[in-house]
Structure 1
């Protein structure tokens, strides 16, 4: 009889016990009872498992809800960005035809918009290596974009065509694409921190800036440094690179 009364009391207190609302003295008495009563111990374990499962399901449902909200927001943003791009293309077409009676400058605008969207597509659809894929798209599509600009300008705005892509834009574009890829590969395989990554890019950019000016001026690097002010740009790049590399070294040393 005593056991039944004890069991009834324990089971009345069991929900509070499982939720840790009972006092230490009550807990001690109940744990002593569980040690001698398999039925109440089983009831305790069942109730605790039910609560644990309920909490787990609630957390999973919360994660699912948050994921769905995030996905919905991303789809809305993607739809908005796509809509703005389409509107921009249509507006440029309409204005260009209305003013010039044919397509002229709008081809450059639309090619630029297409370039931006093509570069941003890997960010929107890829789950891994987004930066690498975006850089690959930008590298591949850069030359066609430059040729479109050259064609439109020569066809509509110059009396004598100037073919500047092959002579200037192509070597400069290849140079900076190589610099960007070199920085990405170095960062990717050396696993450096953000500070060091920026420092590495600035070092490469110092070289790229000097070579770019040499190509644009049709001069040698020696002439660029002795007759112009390229040394100021190079010094600024190197100084900034040294600062970022120092911070990168300090951060890695502390870690």
Structure 2
């Protein structure tokens, strides 16, 4: 059931402002430490590539001015986190995790919020009493690459609701709706009851939406669960899990789907919804 106020107020600007603030908070707690030689190399090659595009396609001043206007508007809309996470992050993730032996990762996206409620190994995510959607049981086992169970592993999970909205990025939703940090049991196992999320379009009323329309693209992401899985002495994995049969698994606007990340749920044992088992394998730190 769509909350009318949520639907009307979940604008690109509001969502972008929230994503920008979350990113700024993340940066305040991190360190830069990037070598100046790396900055020089990366920025020089990025600009050289842009220069090559201008020359090869004979960019006009009309097109250049349109580009400048659009870039300025992206910042004013607060949509840089959305733009970068949708169109660039999947390649950064690919490079950063190319040496992993364990589970596959993919993009974090712009809607992560740290500090989700701590939950036990067998649990239900926080949700409204009348939460719409198909009941969904997500369960599995966290191990190391050698198969050793990882007791007390952290399985942080968040996802959109049945209308495609994320708590803290659309009004009218409880603060931690469909978000939680689950601690696996003594054998590394977890059971999480939630609802199956819906596919959704990234915000289209802002600058990113104008780019999508101008290029003739679609704005859809397939339905997915977001996860961060970690354990002491092991590398954290950030990933998303998708659903077999979703029409946008093959053409995700964010190019984040990998075959290993597609779930194939079946009917739940109690007949009330769907369930799936998915195990996580973590690399040594």
TM-score by length of 1: 0.26
Q: Which has the higher contact order (CA 8 A, sep 6+)?
A: 2
Q: Select the structure that is richer in strand.
A: 2
TM-score normalized by the length of structure 2: 0.24
Larger fraction in helix: 1
